[in-house]
Structure 1
């Protein structure tokens, strides 16, 4: 494919630049956390942490929020619990279920992640301008409605 065709294909859909933007933040976050002494987490682990940060506590709800199977979320949560980032607690509303919470170690990582995200956002503002970052944030936070279905 010629460079011009590649550029046209890239701009034909928002999915690619949205994914590239997510990857830019995720890779930067991983780098800054590694520099702070943390081990890397996988993208699925990042997505689980984001869901928990939004207040989602049940594995089935986390799976639904990030668009993966309950089984894969269960494996990811188990890995993170083994690393000491998460803990499972009884669900007071359902004796058969557990809720996922950040451990003390997970809370420390979340604080380091927040500082890293603030640093990454400031860097993005330097690179593309504060007004562009503000507009991007506003556009992404609008209610897009449900996914398109036919």
Structure 2
């Protein structure tokens, strides 16, 4: 008989989707242009001073091509811009436009509200414990060993 117990990565993925869907619905209700989950993730890992496409791809665990496509969609929407990299003539930095900064701040407020709604549903103590657990360093993943 197969176990119906979901593993921790599945549960974390479902929790992430809960926030992504709530954020997307709230942004759309506020009149913001729809963005894909990949584009929203890109916004979350983008440094304030700008980040290269290669670094974005690494942080998102996607191919460089996938990150590049997400960047181009957000540039076309007026939320991101590409600027010369100060240390490399061959690279460009991706950073938020003024409108992108406004949208990013608005998304942060929505995420705070979603966290409060979650606390109303499962309890403030549970949300605080979850946050404390996830903020704790887990160290490097263990080296593969015998199964």
TM more than 0.5: yes
Deviation at 1:66, TM superposition (A): 1.0
Q: Which residue pairs with 1:29 in the alignment?
A: 23
Q: Which residue pairs with 1:85 in the alignment?
A: 79
Q: Which residue pairs with 2:4 in the alignment?
A: 9
Distance in 1 of aligned mates of 2:34 and 2:14:
19
> Gaps (5+ residues) in structure 1?
none
* Pairs within 5 Å for 1:1-150: 8-11=3-6, 13-52=7-46, 57-150=51-144
Matched residue pairs, number? Answer: 144
Answer whether contact 2:78 2:100 (CA < 8 A) is retained: yes
> Gaps (5+ residues) in structure 2?
none
* TM-score, normalization by structure 1: 0.89
Structure 1 runs of 4+ aligned residues shifted over 3 Å read: 53-56
